[in-house]
Chain A
Amino acid sequence: MYPSQTRRALAETIAGGLGVRPERLDWFLLGVAGLLVALGIAFIASASSHGGEGWGYAGRQGFFLLLGLAGFVVVQRADYRTLLRWSPALYLGGLVLLCGVFATRPVNGARSWYDLYFFKLQPSELLKPVLILTLAYYLMYRDSYKRLTGLLVPLVLCFVPMALILKQPDLGTTMTLVPVVFAMLYAAAARLWHLGLMVLCGAAGLTGMWFTIMKDYQKRRVLAWLYPEQYRLSEAWQQLQAKIAIGSGGFFGSGWGENSQSNLNLLPEKHTDFIFAVAAEEGGFLTVCFVVLLHCALALSGLHIASRTREPAGRLIAVGIAALLGGQALINMSVALGLLPTTGVTMPFVSYGGSSLISSLLCLGLLVNIGAKQEIMLGRETFE
């Protein structure tokens, strides 16, 4: 068999498994996501290799990957519009799960997980694609969001889970939903000044929160971000160490497994929220730029799928997913680079964590699903 034939056979097998014709499958997107996952496992392995965990984390991430792939295939094979129809039920189910989490025992002061013995389920992660579906389901029918009052329903739809997640407390996951909401509303042609108003209200709300419900540790994180030297041994520790790790990587990096900062447990959460710092130290500018490029490509090709899709719900879902994956990556990197206060946000596909990986793969499945349903486009649109 010639190599080209092998390749074709392989492509047909994969595409067949996903129920799509190979030429319909967004190979680029799959390749980007695959690379990110592979890099992620490599960095998780090196980040945890000296912590006495051996390959444990990487192995478990592999297991999560299998779970996630299963979810990916399911979502990809299903008709996303069926999912769309189910989204209110999924949404309510998600809310129930989010409420149920308050009955669990807190871990690190937060109630965010269900302990399922083989992995810890984080309902807020799973709620992300569900929320996108729900928002799209709501928005695709109406044009009421062009009125200020019409924005109320989608905002409430977002606000309820966000409030619940914030209550866990998990500021990071809440934050990742913000760009999703804005991008979807904007893409759905909400008026700009309405969105601007929302930003203002959000700012006012945050200010209000600062004085009312925000926890001391959250405030200190913000202060630590503003004045890292004053908090260098406490709140700013993580970020300073991350900066050192990233900066010391230089151009070529210290090499795989040569991460002094994280090996010595100087950098907490190195394999989850700060995997970017590990990548930057070991891989250097070269590798980490590649990671940034991959994430950028992921977000942009998500948006590209959105722009190619003529079906309104599909478009919105694609925009939402692009905003979720891209926004989350941006927030995660910004935190590691000290551009934002420390919040626990994972990097999609790369960070260790079952819920995060599965959720990201589900999103990817949706995206690929939408991208593959191109036959609905009958002719070239005379785009306005």
Chain B
Amino acid sequence: MNWPAPPATHAAAARSAATTLTGTRPAAAAKRAGLPTFQLRVRVLAACFALGFGVIAARLVQLQLVNGAYYREQARTGGGVQRLDAAPRGAIGDRLGNPLARDLPSYDLAVRADRLPFENTGYKDLSALREKLQARAEAEKRALSPADRQLLDAALEEIRGRALREPWVRRLAQTIQADETVIAAGIADACDRIARKWAMASAPVTILRGIDPNAWTMLSVLQEDKFRNPGPPKRGAPAASIAVPLEGAPEREEPAFPGLVCVHSVRRAYLHGSLASHVLGVLGELQPEQLDCLREQGVLTDHLEERRAIWTRQRERLTAAQAAELATVLGADPRELRGLGELLGALQALDPARRRRAAELGLADAVRWIDRPPRMELCEAERIALGAGQSRQDGRPRGRLVDLRLGLTGVEAWYNDLLRGRHGFETFGGQDAARLNPEALPREGRMLALTLNPAWQRACERALASQPRPAAMVVLDCHTGEVLAMASFPDFDPNLFSPPREGKERQAALKAVLQDPRKPLTNRCIGEQYPLGSVFKPFVAAVALEQGLVRPGERFECRGWVQEGQTRFHCDGRRAHGSVDLREALRRSCNVCFYHLGARLGVEGLAPWAKAAGLGRRTGLDLPGEASGIYPDRAWRERRFPNSTWDRAWSRGKDYHLAIGQGYMSVTPLQAACLMASIANGGLAVTPRLWLDAFAPEPQPLGLSPAALAVVREGLDEAVNVGTPGARGTAYAPFHAGERLAVRVAGKTGTADTGRENEAPHAWFGGYAPAQNPRVAFVVLVENGGHGGEVAAPLAYQALKEIYGTAGGQ
């Protein structure tokens, strides 16, 4: 092709430009002028570009090669952006299968206060105003100024003030037939919440719970239509797809109910209010603070990784033959079970022999796991929600954390893993979302049947509530250890905690519960330990008899006191009982007789028996927060008084105190009930439990012979049923003052000094029924109640009367 000759002027211009640029001027001249030559400049530019592309390449090395694994993981989980799909929580029922606690659907209305209209600043809504202020503040690199705050506060104040006057509030109230003031209060609540924490501004605050489903549905349709923006119609799109506004509805810009959000949620309902509240426990929101608290209590463990490793290992090791045999042992194919949780659940329900067999078949790790104290663990979805393993900022919860509930106390906490089922999570993108991931589907929680007998539970609670002092009562099946009733007074309504934060009344009630000095949230049956007092005597007597340290008919002379060194050890009320044998000593609660027994037994002589009966250690009940109690054997003293030989030393006097359940020793009411159960069932130590399907260990014989126990049980029977004037049983009066019970009860009163000045002793009554052929063992404790026979025994009578009824209408 030929290069067309440029016009003369252009050629000249080009020549001159070329001269200027680089062209013909000699190199020396260019250098003198201090200008880089064109070539050099182009090379500089080329170097700049090469550098730029080099930076890109370096960044690629960093992202793809160095951090590739991290981003691949992120890609798998969609960058960790997941929405939680909460599983329905399992119900908790009584032993008959009637639910005590269950999830109920709840049709709620919430408001987003930042969407509510206001006037005085010319912004559409609060979020618009705040965005503006925030943007300004951010741009100026400062926090919101006081003036900004004032503006926001004024806006909030206006919204709050307008709530009652708003026409839409009135309309809403008419639509759902609720009180306007309730809605206004909800709005005020939302405003308060925003004022406290602006970060929550866009979070809907529930104002009404459990409204009529039909009204709710109607509202949600209305609201959605108002908020949905159809956007500009697409060309060629069918006309039908264009949303038509509801007839007679206001303009799209003005929703019928601004800021109203229809929320569909679940509510944990405790169907009988405060019934068995301490056993059932409460739920909380999954929050880091809660977790820390649970971790401190040892309820929560973070063994998930370890567990997952175990599960993988176990599953990989299984051969087909083993799996087949395991399937018959477990009643389920282990390869079908998802996760170790289910495997453990299956193993837990097995008897020891089959469990041993399962261990032999390759599930040794899993079986060993069960023997650890079982606790709560977070499932994967929960960990993701909390951003576990990463910093909070990096952990990216996108679900509504409120949806994730966590048992904090009681059965809700102990069996949290079972009740929770498994939360699922929806992955936004990532390879996980591409395929259906069965691991990510939510799985409904299991229903738990408790051993509680609802009628008995109610009877016990009613009896305790008939007096003002903090009290506790436990009823056990004395052969199996099943807890038939477990009442602690004062109690609380677990519904207060679910849902939390709603309405002023609930708030106030919750506050009252939390601030009550009597600590209504404490389960006194297991969480507190008390000196046992005379209720310990039957056990001491049985052991002494068994060891041959006392003969059944042996008589002791009671002068009302025993001298030991400088100190006199008195009988109750400093009364002399005269000559008493063991039975009478139990009946009349003679301390002097047991001082002698205590001296003969000695603290270390009694120790193995006490240990076998479960004193000084947790009973293993499936509830969190159990205290261990104290049995002051040498090991305990060395632990307790590492630096004081005087305290560590034992003396005759301390033996005396131990024998009547005073001094260092202390027990929980549940331990006392287990003790009574052992005496009632012929000397077997039972492990109490609350889940009906939980594996029950065989009751272990204590080694107490029937002959020895017969003497003791006679004494206990007499304590309740012998009314000989002058030598009456300590518990005779309450059981025979009014109507006779339909069942013959045996028991022992206890009046345990607290060791503190000016404090009434704890009142105890422990026993079993029927006296001849015991089925249940029970214990009543009244904190600082006074005399056991006068305070605790009447409560037991009252409860038993309701449980067994009165004899033939006498």
Contacts and interface: CB of A to CB of B under 8 A. Distances in A.
Chain A bound to chain B: yes
Interface of A: 19-20, 79, 81-82, 85, 139-143, 183, 186-189, 210-211, 216, 219, 223, 229, 232-233, 240-241, 243-251, 260-261, 263-266, 280-281, 284-285, 288-289, 292-293, 295-296, 299-300, 303-304, 306-307, 310-313, 315, 319, 322-323, 326, 330, 333-334, 337, 339, 373, 375-376, 381-384
B57 A250 contact: no
A245 B431 CA distance: 11
Contacts of A85: 10
Contact of A300 (B30, B49, B78): B49
A326 B20 contact: no
Given A140-B17, A189-B21, A266 B70 contact: no
B128 to A, nearest CB: 11
A296 B64 contact: no
Contacts of A333: 56
A303 B48 CA distance: 11
B17 to A, nearest CB: 4
Contact of B49 (A140, A330, A334): A330
Contacts of B429: 241, 260-261, 264-266
Nearest to A299: B49
Nearest to A24: B1
Chain A interface mostly: helix
B430 A264 contact: yes
Contacts of A381: 23
B72 A248 contact: yes
A381 B50 CA distance: 26
Interface stretch (B35-43, B402-410, B554-562, B776-784): B35-43
Contacts of A334: 55-56
Contact of B31 (A142, A288, A384): A384
Interface string B16-60: 111011110111111100011111011111100110110111011
B44 to A, nearest CB: 8
Contacts of B60: 246, 280, 285, 288-289, 292, 337
Contacts of B25: 384
A262 B56 CA distance: 21
A247 B70 contact: yes
Contacts of A281: 75
Nearest to B64: A285
Contact of A250 (B16, B30, B64): B64
Interface stretch (B393-401, B457-465, B679-687, B692-700): B393-401
A19 B2 CA distance: 10
Given A19-B1, A383-B37, 18 more contacts: A143-B20, A186-B44, A189-B35, A216-B135, A244-B74, A247-B67, A247-B71, A261-B75, A261-B430, A264-B434, A285-B65, A288-B60, A292-B53, A293-B53, A307-B38, A322-B45, A326-B53, A384-B22
A306 B21 CA distance: 13
B30 A243 contact: no
Given A223-B138, A315-B38, A333-B56, A246 B21 contact: no
B398 A292 contact: no
B3 A330 contact: no
B78 A266 contact: yes
A79 B71 contact: no
Nearest to A298: B49
Q: Which 10 A-B pairs have the closest CB atoms?
A: A247-B71, A384-B27, A266-B429, A248-B75, A264-B429, A296-B53, A250-B68, A312-B17, A384-B37, A247-B63
A183 B135 contact: no
Nearest to A258: B431
A247 B72 contact: yes
21 contacts: A139-B17, A141-B17, A233-B398, A241-B429, A247-B72, A265-B429, A285-B65, A288-B60, A289-B57, A292-B56, A299-B53, A303-B45, A311-B14, A312-B20, A315-B21, A330-B53, A334-B55, A337-B56, A383-B22, A384-B25, A384-B37
A382 B75 CA distance: 57
Interface of B: 1, 3-4, 6, 10, 13-14, 16-18, 20-23, 25-31, 35-39, 41-46, 49-50, 52-53, 55-57, 59-61, 63-65, 67-68, 70-72, 74-75, 78-79, 81, 131, 135, 138-139, 393-394, 396, 398, 428-431, 433-434
Contacts of B434: 260, 263-264
B75 A375 contact: no
Most chain B beta-carbon contacts within 10 A, residue among A244, A266, A280, A311: A244
Contacts of B1: 19-20
A330 B71 contact: no
B50 A300 contact: yes
A48 to B, nearest CB: 16
Nearest to B73: A248
Contacts of A323: 45
A81 B52 CA distance: 31
B71 A244 contact: yes
A261 B393 CA distance: 22
Contacts of A382: 27
Contact of A303 (B26, B27, B46): B46
B3 A376 contact: yes
B9 to A, nearest CB: 10
A52 to B, nearest CB: 14
B123 to A, nearest CB: 14
Contact of A219 (B26, B81, B135): B135
A3 to B, nearest CB: 28
B431 A260 contact: yes
A300 B21 contact: no
A229 B21 contact: no
A79 B4 contact: yes
B426 to A, nearest CB: 12
Contact of A375 (B3, B23, B72, B138): B3
A375 B3 CA distance: 8
Contacts of A143: 17, 20
Contacts of A246: 60, 63-64, 71
A83 to B, nearest CB: 12
A116 B16 CA distance: 44
Given A211-B139, A266-B429, A187 B79 contact: no
Contacts of A261: 75, 429-430
A178 B30 CA distance: 27
B389 to A, nearest CB: 16
A250 B4 contact: no
B14 A312 contact: yes
Given A143-B20, A326-B49, A249 B64 contact: yes
Contacts of B16: 141
A337 B45 CA distance: 23
- Residue of A142, A250, A383, A384 with most chain B CB atoms under a 10 A cut-off: A384
A266 B427 CA distance: 11
Given A300-B49, A303-B45, A251 B64 contact: yes
A307 B39 contact: yes
Contact of B75 (A188, A245, A322): A245
B3 A79 contact: yes
A215 to B, nearest CB: 10
Nearest to A296: B53
B61 A285 contact: yes
Contacts of B14: 140, 311-313
Nearest to A242: B63
A249 B1 CA distance: 48
